[in-house]
Amino acid sequence: MVNTSSSSLKPFVLLSIAAALVTIVLKMAAWQMTGSVGLLSDALESFVNLAGALMALAMITLAERPADNSHAFGHGKAEYFSSGFEGLLILIAAVSIGYSAVDRLLHPMALEKVGLALAVSTGASMVNFLTARTLLTVGKRENSITLEADAHHLMTDVWTSVGVIAGVALAWWSGLSWLDPLIALTVALNILYTGWQLLQRTAQGLMDASLPSGELVRIETALQDLCKEGVSYRNLKTRMGGRIVFITLDVLVPESWSVRQGHDWCERIESRLRQTIPYCHVTTHLEPSGEALKPGR
């Protein structure tokens, strides 16, 4: 049995798409005003945001489909394709920004209409900030790697924009035109790091990695609270499947117990774990404890 919510994530992905469209228009306008390669790098990342959000919409639509005969454990892993796709797009954007920055270092250009352009770029950053906070809150609540990945990427975009705005303003004020492409190179490295982190997390999900140590401690604490009256457990295993956490374990009970007693304890353990870890699918295997086995893991 799975502890899940019936709420759809699609409205929040649509919010991300709308925010990406708005920021593309604003940031491209800021770049056109100034010719700043730093602002261009910021605008290009918004195109990555849009592509990632469109992919997220497709994969969340697939992930929310119920389990069927061909996919008994559901379609939750589809979310990893979205986060992996966004990670690759981020890497491509980083290379493009780096190329533009090097070209501008070799061919300097004076900045124009900086004041108005920075005001427009600041407005775009506020749109991204508010959207990212919303997606992060919902992503954590609904246990969605897609929304969390999108939120973290948007927050990276926000901090990138802050750096670009400050750097372009400094380059304009000081007259040191080389500061603009230097900032763009810094942005490219930061984006590269973000993309690598997303790809790592995607790979962990696709390879059925165990839950983080903090989550395992919560599970084990809940199990230890129930290890009494001769009941123990072993072979605890966990993995992620998109929004769903899969937990399997052997439950050992005294040999003298009836099947009904053992079944009731398994139900009690499964219920506790579903309260401890949201969106989890728990599978227990009932076994007699025997004299050689000790309570515990």
Per-residue model confidence as pLDDT tens digits over 119-177: 888 899 899 999 999 998 888 887 777 787 778 778 877 877 777 787 778 777 777 77
pLDDT tens-digit series, residues 79-119: 777 778 777 877 877 787 777 777 777 776 666 667 788 88
Looking at the structure of the chain, the number of domains it has is: 2
Is the same domain home to 217 and 122? no
Mean pLDDT of the chain: 80
Query: How does residue 268 score in pLDDT terms, banded at 50, 70 and 90?
Result: very high
165, 183, 206 - which closes a domain: 206
Average pLDDT rounded to a whole number, residues 193-210: 78
CATH at 238:
3.30.70.1350
Is the same domain home to 26 and 138? yes
206, 232, 252 - which closes a domain: 206
For 103, the domain range is 10-206
Is the same domain home to 218 and 252? yes
Is the same domain home to 219 and 202? no
The pLDDT assigned to 252 comes to 93
Percent over 90 (pLDDT), the chain: 20
Whether 296 has a pLDDT exceeding 70, the answer reads no
* DSSP per-residue letters across the chain: -B------SHHHHHHHHHHHHHHHHHHHHHHHHH--HHHHHHHHHHHHHHHHHHHHHHHHHHHTSPP-SS-TT-STTHHHHHHHHHHHHHHHHHHHHHHHHHHHHHS-----SHHHHHHHHHHHHHHHHHHHHHHHHHHHHHT-HHHHHHHHHHHHHHHHHHHHHHHHHHHHHH--TTHHHHHHHHHHHHHHHHHHHHHHHHHHHHTTPPPPHHHHHHHHHHHHHH--TT-EEEEEEEEEETTEEEEEEEEEE-TTS-HHHHHHHHHHHHHHHHHHSSSEEEEEEEEE--SSPPS--
pLDDT tens-digit series, residues 225-257: 888 778 999 999 988 776 678 899 999 999 889
pTM of the model: 0.61
